[in-house]
Structure 1
Amino acid sequence: MNSLDTVMPAPSGGLVSPSVARNTAPLLERLRAHLPGRGRVLEIASGSGEHAVAFARALPGIDWTPSDPSAEARASIAAWREAADLPNLAAPLALDAADAGSWPEDAAPFDAVVCINMIHISPWAATEGLMAGAARMLRHPGGLLCLYGPYREANVPLAPSNEAFDESLKARDPDWGLRALEDVVQLAENAGLAFTLRNAMPANNLCLLFRRVQGLSR
């Protein structure tokens, strides 16, 4: 699975993703509203690492752990992390959402799991792994899974820009593409994650929140 968007070298040795500049502020607003004041967050498919740095800097009470299956992405995350020198930003994990064996072995060490712009740029197996892994990783009932990206919604016309984006994704890899929101919600609920909030975001994206349910067996 390759979670990197179109990127270009940065002077720091990291990579720069054009979408990060557009979505960091609205995403941070959502995270501030729903994350605990203190806790641990696992970010899945962190890409260039710019989000990890921005969120760790803005949320000093949160210990942020980035991850990515791509060695190129992890090198970029490490470069941004070194430049930022933040005490609450951990080294990136080599985690592939679709590979259960690559998830941390700790039973439930995190208060939240965040995944930005992965579900449409990966095979469906990655989303299946994400839901199962998030349910295992969340520390307590009520633990948060936050997703961000474009989706198809029943009875909601797809924006022309998202339609074109979907076509371009499928041209690059037929296993990629915008997912139906109801399919993602059903997968999450099957894993023991209750769908709690849908937020419309800029550029025809959605921020989706799920909570680990009480009494979830591991």
Structure 2
Amino acid sequence: MLVSPVAERNKESILEVLADYVDETCSAFGLELGSGTGQHVVHFAQALPTVTWQPSEISPASQQSISAYIRATKVTNVREPLFIDVSQPWNQWAGLGQSCCDFIVIINVLHMTDQGLEGMFKGVGQLLKPGGIFLAYGPFAINGIILPECNVKLDEMLQARNPEWGLRDVEELRQLANVNALRLERMLEMPEYTKCLIFRRREL
């Protein structure tokens, strides 16, 4: 099992936000895009037993780690990870059907998405049920401004590795969401200079 210290630190604070949107009286289906080690998805599954989770990853090593976490924690509401490349059209996302998700979660991935951001938002808009929630967590820019200095350095480091990488501006994401029937409902300040963006799929 791979271990991410960052995931270990932030999993509980993200869960607290997510739990506000879960109705514990009925079952739901959640998709995590870019599940990484698997630490987040099993943590969410243990705390939210009415949600069945579908993790996804493009990295074989990460897929193996997710499977190992599922076995180690004995969670029964997490499916085996799927290969999903968000740069591909949404109808190629492992056969997931339109309006199948109550929740979609993406954690610390958007700033390392070098292409297909528009396609990813289109996919989220297609896969979420009306009223469904898209939670995006990570460091973000606000109106072109990145704060504090540690996030500025992170942005510079990312762009040095790949010019297409870097902290996304919340306004850019809001506009991408809007054209895909998603509304930015909340922006919450989180520990370590990160934010949770909560988008809701508009009702039909």
Q: What TM-score do you get using the length of structure 1 for normalisation? A: 0.87
User: Does the Cα contact within 8 Å between 2:144 and 2:169 map onto a contact in 1?
Assistant: no
Aligned to 2:101: 110
Q: Give the Cα separation in 2 of the matches to 1:168 and 1:52.
A: 28
Aligned to 1:6: none
Q: Give the Cα separation in 1 of the matches to 2:123 and 2:94.
A: 7
Q: Give the Cα separation in 1 of the matches to 2:14 and 2:78.
A: 18
Q: RMSD in angstroms over aligned alpha carbons? A: 1.4
Q: 2:168 aligns with which of 166, 179, 192?
A: 179
Structure 1 residues 155 and 68: alpha-carbon distance in aligned structure 2, compared to 1, 3 A threshold: closer
SS of the residue corresponding to residue 51 of structure 1 reads helix
1:30 aligns with 2:17: yes
User: Does the Cα contact within 8 Å between 1:66 and 1:91 map onto a contact in 2?
Assistant: yes
Aligned to 1:167: 156
User: Does the Cα contact within 8 Å between 1:96 and 1:103 map onto a contact in 2?
Assistant: no
Aligned to 2:48: 59
C-alpha deviation, 1:36, in angstroms: 2.8
How many residue pairs are counted as aligned between the two chains?
200
For structure 2, the 5+ residue unaligned runs are none
Q: What TM-score do you get using the length of structure 2 for normalisation? A: 0.93
Q: Give the Cα separation in 2 of the matches to 1:18 and 1:84.
A: 18
- Amino-acid identity (%): 36
SS of the residue corresponding to residue 16 of structure 1 reads coil
- Runs of 4+ residues over 3 Å off in structure 1: none
C-alpha deviation, 1:103, in angstroms: 4.3
Q: 1:87 aligns with which of 76, 81, 94?
A: 76
Q: Give the Cα separation in 1 of the matches to 2:164 and 2:156.
A: 12
1:122 aligns with 2:113: yes
Q: Give the Cα separation in 2 of the matches to 1:57 and 1:105.
A: 23
C-alpha deviation, 1:46, in angstroms: 0.3
SS of the residue corresponding to residue 197 of structure 1 reads strand
